Amino acid sequence: MSSPDASRTQTRADVADFEREPLWRRIDDRRDRFEPRGGILAPWPDDRTVLYWWRRRTLRAWWEDVTPSALTYGEDGDNQVVGFVAAVRAVADATPPADPDNLSGMAIDFDHYLWRCRSIRQVTVSSSADPARQLTAHCLAEQAASPHQVAAELEDVWLRDLRYQRWEAHLLQITPASVDLHVATMNSQGGYYITASIITRWSGNAEAPTEAASPVRTWRSG
């Protein structure tokens, strides 16, 4: 006895039922650029027609024309924060974010070098499609380490081992119970940029050692 589906036939939709845009054309590998398979280089726009390759008349890819996500770190009125955000925005406006392969390589480096900090006892690195914070490293500090010791080690490993030599900016935020290092770097002129945050706490809700300094914010770009 044949199954009910045996008598069904599959037919291809009649192309006459669809309207083709006058300027539609086939993909041309010499001029059309696409995100890598499984990768997202920028949040997709609400207007998906922006993704139509046949409508583009420049050699720029669609993600290079997307406004970067908002960069926010702490209080808007903090001059150190404002300076850092302005520096990163200037680079993000002219450079695309790293693709998934390059971002994966940087994530491996974060995991490797942060573990080498004597004041850090646990590191977890995660990635995101958000160009404003592509990598986040959550760290647990040694109980005996002071916030300034942690900050000095994180800043040193960032500048010595992790940043690209072309350009970097970083914002260091220190409180008696936390050390946050927000960073950005660009590999080359016209290349790509990477943004990241290194969030350091002491175990659970435990406070940092009593000799911790008062809250401090510093930033650098260059």
Q: Is the whole-model pTM more than 0.95? A: no
Q: How far apart are CA 151 and CA 199, in angstroms?
A: 11
> What is the structure's pLDDT at 142?
92
Span 61-88, mean pLDDT? 66
Domain-by-domain residue ranges, the chain? Answer: 14-66, 79-221
CATH number of the domain located at residue range(s) 79-221 in this protein = 3.30.460
Of 76-90, 104-118, 144-158, minimum mean pLDDT range: 76-90
Based on its alpha-carbon atoms, the radius of gyration of the chain, rounded to whole angstroms, reads 23
> What is the structure's pLDDT at 22?
78
* Band of residue 39 on the pLDDT scale cut at 50, 70, 90: low
> What is the structure's pLDDT at 156?
94
Q: How far apart are CA 217 and CA 221, in angstroms?
A: 14
